[in-house]
Chain A
Amino acid sequence: MSVETQAAPRAVRGSSILTNPTVRSIVIQAGLIIGLVIFVWWIVTNTARNLAEANIASGFGFLWSRAGFDIAITPIAYSSNDTYGHAIVVGIINTLIISAAGITLATILGFVVGIGRLSGNFLIRMLSTVYVETFRNIPPLLVILFWYFGVLSVLSGPRGLEENVFGVYLTNRGLQVPSLVFSPVAWATLIAFVVGIVATFALSRRNKAHQLATGERKPLLWPALGLIIGLPIVVFLVTGLPAELEFPKANRFNLAGGLQIRPEFIALWLALSIYTGAFIAEIVRAGIMSVSKGQNEAASALGLTRGQALRLVVVPQAFRVIIPPLTSQYLNLTKNSSLGLAVGYPELVAVGSTVLNQSGQSIEVVCIWMLVYLTISLSVSIFMNWFNSKMALVER
């Protein structure tokens, strides 16, 4: 009897540490972290030992050895004498370029089509629906191959082309347009452009303050156009036209000179934009439809025009619904840019797989791929989260 009565309180005392929620959670979490560290360490050492046993070189030292291959599109200086690391940087920049260009066009397409799906005009509504339903249901790779092999490769070649006055040629070598060659004085024009933008911001703030104080709205659009476009043009003329057009000229094989946009870029850009644009259109439509009809009616009751109601009442509320899923579409587009491999657009995966194959360092290259895509995706997420918090409902 006495043994039992003494045993009960001991059991309670003994279990008080075990059942303490703080202690328990710390112990479990510490255990998990230790387990994870051991697991990762074990994978790394095991892989390294296996590689050494198979006589396969490992480590990141290869990034500093000579690449030896050329890259078709080089936004920064690169030659085959540069290093593997340099080649990978070129690939990263190409990925960023195609992603930025794709996101821009996809967003424009998505908003136009998304609003089009809600249009009162039957034709616009039907065309938008057909576009969304078609491209949302085709794998992006097929869309890329369609543009590359189906549209751009069947264009005529660059030889025997008739010269045209504008210097714009669309051939199976891509789109060739005249390029502007600036002389040093052209900096003045660029500075004028920046000044124009800054001045427009200042004007917009002053107008807002004026409206808050007096209720009177002052015009912004025309002064802004004058500052941003007019001012640089005036400076450009005053400094004596410090730029000239370079026209593409046919040589024995190609059109040389001017600005060349390669078909690999065009195919990938159009395909990614059209594919992602279809998803964005649906997100925009959902966002606009989520704003209740009463908001529109209230806006009319306050005397806002239709345009003002859309701009000041509907769109800001719709944005709160649109932005989070829009972020995922931007991330999707960035990751889908790796399909450029199929048509030879030298983005990160295409350049990386050449590096992988020439150097044989597959594990290291795969690690670099994962790290770069993770960094890009997290950066886009952080930016969009910031934008989202700016747009979020501010309760008063």
Chain B
Amino acid sequence: MNSKLLTAVLGLTIAGLGAGAASAQTLGTVKERGQLRCGVNTGLPGFASQNDKGEWQGLDVDYCKAVAAAVFGDPSKVQYSPLSAVQRFPALQNNEIDMLARNTTWTMDRDTTLGLAFAGVNYYDGQGFMVKKDLGVNSALELSGATVCVQSGTTTELNLADYFRTNKMDYNPVVIEAQSDVNSAYDSGRCDVLTTDASGLAASRLELKNPDDNVILPEIISKEPLGPAVRQGDDQWFNVVKWTHYALLDAEELGVTKDNVEEMKSSDNPEIRRLLGQDKDFGASIGLSKDWAVNIIKAVGNYGEIFERNIGVDTPLKIQRGQNALWTKGGIQYGMPIR
């Protein structure tokens, strides 16, 4: 009786620990499950947030939808996991999610020692500061002695320490885990300064009691290339996410949009024909169907459409394309050729 129990417990533990090792077949597992598990922010307007109907929307959310469309032809087959900054990497490492699209900065440390692989940059960002207007501060260099609210476990926290130390300034950090609590601490006057990525500042500002009483300072103190990440060691799945990103960029460059994608199938342009799977079956080479890119664009549009819909100048965030314009228009977004 006892030995039977012991065998059962051992068996269960072996099964549990063994599952951690088998991570190589993500695409097959996702197809079998019929759903993509995507890690997103717990709530960052423009990138990942729930609307009043409880539907997820935002730039990162559209990347989840794009990958689901590429795999299933259906952008709704996504199960979203809202994750805090501290939770995000363990969730991906432990196989709880298939991909992480959570405004996460691509750094060498994360790319190497955390076992992650970044599939591209869907938003080039940089860290900035927001202060109350009535302080009369015009530059981040005047912030010596201030109390600064920051989210724990982010690159932001590290840049902040570096910036104040290199400029020989003092500050009081107030370090809180959830960005929403960081925002409310700033709003209630616990801190003088709120710091996060510039896009995050624009989003957080909208949630303050009086957005117009706050200004974003001109200094950008870091490079924050944000992008989707997957686990290392599964090249097929890495390619699916990476080429979904490039397909979105190439579609914008070639003028393929959500509305005209069907007509574009009969275009004479060989680049468009390759993207839309008309000449050669590129989908098969990454384990997807021939019309994978068509499905992506039908579901979420091209990169430009995603940008304008979620964070562009016509949205409350009013963010210019800037560095995130295509390379042909003065930016640095550059889709690798599909051929």
Check B161–A68 contact: CB distance below 8 A.
yes
Distance in Å from the Cβ of A360 to the closest Cβ of chain B?
Answer: 4
| Contact call B146/A53, Cβ cutoff below 8 A | no
Whether A149 sits at the interface, judged by CB under 8 Å, is: yes
Contact B189 A153 (CB under 8 A): yes
Q: Which residues of B contact A72 (CB under 8 A)?
A: 172-175
A196 to chain B, nearest CB (A): 38
Instruction: Give the distance in Å from the alpha carbon of A157 to the alpha carbon of B134 in the complex.
Output: 13
With A356-B86, A357-B89, A358-B158: A252-B110 Cβ-Cβ less than 8 Å: no
Query: Interface extent on A, as a size class?
Result: 35 or more
Q: Which of A21-53 contact B (CB under 8 A)?
A: 35, 39, 43, 46-47, 49-51, 53
Give bound CA distance, A35 to B9, whole Å: 13
Docked pose: A350 CA to B177 CA in angstroms: 9
Q: Is B192 a contact of A54 with CB atoms below 8 Å?
A: no
A57 vs B135: C-alpha distance when bound (angstroms)? 45
Give the distance in Å from the alpha carbon of A51 to the alpha carbon of B115 in the complex.
9
Q: Does any Cβ of B come within 8 Å of A69's Cβ?
A: yes
- Does the CB pair B21–A49 fall under 8 Å? yes
Q: Which residues of B contact A80 (CB under 8 A)?
A: 158, 161-162, 165
Determine whether the beta carbon of A252 is less than 8 Å from that of B145. yes
A158 to B165, CA, bound (A): 25
Asked whether A153 lies within 8 Å of B86 as measured between CB atoms, the reply is no
30 contacts between A and B (CB under 8 A): A39-B10, A54-B115, A54-B232, A54-B233, A55-B232, A56-B93, A57-B112, A57-B114, A70-B157, A71-B175, A72-B175, A79-B165, A81-B165, A153-B190, A251-B145, A252-B145, A253-B143, A254-B147, A344-B174, A344-B175, A344-B176, A344-B185, A354-B153, A356-B86, A358-B153, A360-B89, A360-B109, A360-B110, A360-B113, A362-B93
Instruction: Please measure, in the bound complex, the distance between the C-alpha atom of A124 and the C-alpha atom of B253, giving whole angstroms.
Output: 77
B34 contacts across to A, CB distance below 8 A: none
Q: Nearest A residue to B161 by beta-carbon distance? A: A80
CB <8 Å contact, A354 and B175 = yes
In A351-396, the 8 Å CB interface with B consists of 353-354, 356-360, 362
The answer to whether A54 and B176 touch across the interface, beta carbons within 8 angstroms, is no
Q: How far is the CA of A173 from the CA of B90 in the complex (A)?
A: 34
Report the bound CA distance from A353 to B177 in whole Å: 9
B96-136 CB contacts (< 8 Å) to partner A: 109-110, 112-115, 135
* B182 to chain A: closest residue by CB: A344
How far, in whole Å, are A159 and B23 apart by their CA atoms in the complex?
55
Most buried by B among A56, A79, A356: A56
Contact of A357 among B85, B135, B165, B181 (CB under 8 A): B85
Is B231 part of the contact surface with A, judged by Cβ < 8 Å?
Answer: yes
Say whether, besides A55-B232, A362-B90, A253 and B192 are in contact (CB < 8 Å).
yes
| A253-B157 in contact given A50-B20, A157-B189 (Cβ < 8 Å) | no
Q: Which of A56, A154, A341 contacts B188 (CB 8 A)?
A: A154
Return A353 CB to nearest CB of chain B, in Å. Answer: 5
Instruction: Output the least CB separation between B209 and chain A (Å).
Output: 13
Q: Is A343 among interface residues, defined by CB-CB distance under 8 A?
A: yes
The smallest C-beta distance from B149 to any residue of chain A, in angstroms, reads: 9
A residues near B232, Cβ cutoff 8 Å: 54-55
Q: How far is the CA of A343 from the CA of B174 in the complex (A)?
A: 9
From A43, A251, A350, give the contact of B152 (CB < 8 A).
Answer: A350
A70 contacts B173, C-beta separation under 8 Å: yes
Q: Which residues of A contact B86 (CB under 8 A)?
A: 353-354, 356-357
Q: Is A180 an interface residue (CB 8 A)?
A: no
**Cβ B145 vs Cβ A253 within 8 A:** yes
Q: Does B239 contact A (CB under 8 A)?
A: no
B21 contacts across to A, CB distance below 8 A = 49-50, 53
Please determine whether A353 and B153 come into contact, CB atoms closer than 8 angstroms.
yes
Name the contact of B115 in the complex, choosing from A56, A71, A358 (C-beta under 8 A).
A56
Complex Cα–Cα for A343 and B157 (A):
16
A359 to B85, CA, bound (A): 13
B17 at the interface (CB under 8 A from A): yes
A346 contacts partner chain B, Cβ-Cβ < 8 Å: yes
State whether A253 touches B135 (Cβ < 8 A): yes
Interface residues of B in 155-178 (CB under 8 A from A): 157-158, 160-162, 165, 171-177
Interface residues on B, range: 35 or more
Q: Which of B10, B147, B154 sits near A253, CB closer than 8 Å? A: B147
Interchain CA distance A165-B15 in the complex, whole Å:
69
In the assembled complex, A342 has its CB within 8 A of some CB on chain B: yes
A260 → B minimal CB distance (Å): 9
Q: Given A50-B21, A53-B21, A57-B113, are A263 and B190 neighbors across the interface (CB < 8 Å)?
A: yes
Report the nearest B residue to A361, measured CB to CB.
Answer: B113
Any chain B CB within 8 A of the CB of A238? no
A49: min CB distance to chain B, Å: 7
State in angstroms the CA–CA spacing of A129 and B52 once bound together. 43
CB B137 to nearest CB in A, in angstroms, measures 8
Interface presence of A256 (CB below 8 A): yes
Pick from A56, A71, A264, A357 the residue with the most CB of B within 10 Å: A357
Closest CB in chain A relative to B205 CB, distance in Å: 19
Question: What are the interface flags for A270-311 relative to B under an 8 Å C-beta threshold, 1 for contact and 0 otherwise?
Answer: 000000000000000000000000000000000000000000
Q: Does B184 contact A (CB under 8 A)?
A: yes
A341–B112 CA distance with the chains assembled, in angstroms: 28
A57 cross-chain contacts in B, Cβ below 8 A: 112-114
| Interchain CB contact (< 8 A) of B185 among A70, A153, A253 | A153
Q: Is the CB of A56 within 8 A of B114?
A: yes
Query: Complex formed: what's the CA distance from A257 to B64 in Å?
Result: 50
Tell me if A172 counts as interface (CB < 8 A to partner B).
Answer: yes
Q: Which residue of B lies closest to A43 (CB)?
A: B17
In the bound complex, CA of A51 to CA of B232 (Å): 11
Q: Give A72 to B160 CA distance when docked, in angstroms.
A: 13
Residue among A153, A173, A251, A344 with max Cβ neighbours from chain B (10 Å): A344
Shortest Cβ gap from B17 to chain A (Å) = 5
Determine the chain B residues whose CB is within 8 A of the CB of A43 once the complex forms.
13, 17
Contact of B190 (CB < 8 Å), options: A46, A173, A346, A359: A173
Question: Chain A nearest CB: distance from B245 CB in Å?
Answer: 22
Question: A57-B112, A362-B90 given. 10 additional CB < 8 A pairs?
Answer: A39-B10, A47-B17, A56-B114, A68-B161, A153-B190, A254-B145, A341-B177, A354-B152, A354-B153, A359-B113
Question: Closest A-chain residue to B10, C-beta based?
Answer: A39
Contact between B114 and A172 (Cβ–Cβ < 8 Å)? no
Task: Name the CB-closest residue of A to B131.
Answer: A253
Q: Which residues of B contact A254 (CB under 8 A)?
A: 145-147, 172, 192
Q: Report chain A residues within 8 Å CB of B162.
A: 68, 80
Which residues of chain B have C-beta atoms less than 8 A from A263's C-beta?
190
